[in-house]
Amino acid sequence: MTTLTEQEFRVKSDQALEGARQALLPLADSEGFEVELQNGVLDLVFEEPIETKFVVSPNAPVRQIWVSAMSRSFKLRWTPESDGFALNGETLPRLLERLTREFLASHNH
């Protein structure tokens, strides 16, 4: 298991959040939500179908990226094989896109 130094983690988590932001922009444009990266935290802000926010934040002490979405918490760790942060093989951008689609689908009846 690869353990990143704190410095490595900061660089990789910054890159991961920026990469996730870029990956989500087309979906955000088409579905009408905001993707904001500030102070090292990525927020997905929805006004429709209901107001909610997904929060993606690096947790340096445990070298994980934590995603808080729909009253659930996801903890992604660095996986060299995917060259990114992942949970059960699902990378951060994929996880966020899946959660976004689930959220939108669950409230668009």
What is the pLDDT at residue 49?
86
pLDDT at 59: 97
Q: What pTM value is reported for the model?
A: 0.93
Nearest to 27 by CA among 79, 106, 98: 98
CA distances (Å), 98 to each of 1, 4, 33, in order? Answer: 27, 27, 15
* Sign of the C-alpha dihedral computed for residues 30, 34, 38 and 42 taken in this order: negative
Per-residue pLDDT of the chain in tens (109 residues, 90 and over written 9) = 568 999 999 999 999 999 999 999 999 999 999 999 999 999 999 998 899 999 999 999 999 999 999 999 999 999 999 999 999 999 999 999 999 999 999 876 5
Q: Is residue 55 a contact partner of residue 40, using CB atoms and an 8 Å limit?
A: no
Which pLDDT value is given to residue 2? 62
Cα dihedral 76, 79, 85, 89 sign: negative
Domains defined for the chain, CATH in brackets:
6-107 (3.30.920.10)
pLDDT of residue 108: 67
pLDDT at 48: 87
67-86 as b/e: b if 16+ CB within 10 A: bebeeeebebebbeeeebbb
Instruction: Determine the pLDDT at residue 107.
Output: 79
